[in-house]
Amino acid sequence: MNLNKTVFVRSAASAKDFPSDAQKRFVFVGRSNVGKSSTINSIVGKKGFAKVSSMPGKTVYVNLFNVEDKAWIIDLPGYGYSKTSKVERERYSKLIDDYFARDMANISRIYVILDIRHKPTADDQMMVEWIRAYDLPMTIVANKLDKLKKSQIEPALALIRETLQLDGSVKLIPYSAEKNEGRDALISDMLDVFN
Ligand code: GTP
Ligand code: MG
């Protein structure tokens, strides 16, 4: 699977537009504004591919990318943005629930994107517990690494592990979508699925 060959296929506003084939799914979830879309851009090596928000809560659809008819990369709308209206928030959470309910069996990995500077929120914990409850393969990506000083990195990673109660088997990848740091680790985690 050559990630440089990723193409945008469509934005899905409801379950009927989700993929229905048996290709592998890589799903990106996380709070609004943590950099899900930026992380996808960095792994596919194209800026401005998945839309990056200047305002949080911008990805209101499930954006579907495809890699060589082998895998789907799925950019879910961000959760937990407090200024979004209640109606919009309910629409998002329904869309995310619908996506999971329908597509769970095909998911190869869920990437939970966090902002490395912040302690994971209650929403993040809920997401992780949910993924665990369904026994789905999960990797944590601690993004915005470029915003920390070297000495702050280890404590930040420890706080994430502790808050989310990650055991040693869960990969936690420090990442910077801005500087492409951690990119090789993330890509090899994705490619492992094919081995
Ligand atoms: P929603 O789609 O709204 O949920 O947001 P998102 O999680 O897709 O975040 P997005 O990729 O749109 O990025 C949000 C903001 O964070 C943008 O201003 C990005 O430029 C910035 N950003 C993303 N990744 C990084 C990073 O690694 N470092 C820095 N410094 N900024 C980043
Ligand atoms: Mg986005």
Q: Which domains does the chain have, with CATH numbers?
A: 3-194 (3.40.50.300)
Q: Which ligand is nearest to the CA of 182?
A: 1
Q: Is 114 in the pocket of ligand 1 (CB under 6 A)?
A: no
Per-residue pLDDT reduced to its tens digit, 3-30: 999 999 998 888 788 899 999 999 999 9
Phi, psi of 109 (to 5 degrees): -155, 140
Segment 128-184, tens digit of pLDDT? 998 998 899 999 999 999 999 999 999 999 999 999 999 999 999 999 999 999 999
139 lines ligand 1 (CB under 6 A): no
